[in-house]
Amino acid sequence: MDNKYSVEKEVEQFFDGYAEEFDSIYGYNPNRSFIDSIVDRLFRQAMYKRFQKTLDIIDDETIKTILDVGSGSGRYCVEYVKLNKTVIGIDLAENMINLSKNIMQSKF
């Protein structure tokens, strides 16, 4: 059981330190260099495709509420709310949660 806790703590600490860099992968960081943005688009296409595919699936009027486990910076949550969904996002990393709150407040 201690090992499980240790792994969870490691994940939490990693994403606490990586929150803003992780969020910038989605192209929302104005401080991200042009080269980094191009590299993201070229080598992280699977992330962008998964993001769009998820939104396509969720854009179903029978789906009303979403639990986003590992919600990170909340970029999916923002899009879910735009689709008129009730969303609860949870994450281990406190910095991700704080970033998510700030992003949601700036959007709505």
pLDDT tens sequence across 44-63: 788 888 889 999 999 999 99
Tally of CB atoms within 10 A around 61: 7
pLDDT attached to residue 87:
96
Residues of the chain with pLDDT under 70: 1-4, 27-30
Query: For the whole prediction, is pTM greater than 0.85?
Result: no
CB 66 within 8 A of CB 85: yes
pLDDT attached to residue 60:
94
Q: Spell out the SS3 assignment of 10-58.
A: HHHHHHHHHHHHHHHCCCCCCCCCHHHHHHHHHHCHHHHHHHHHHHHHH
pLDDT attached to residue 40:
74
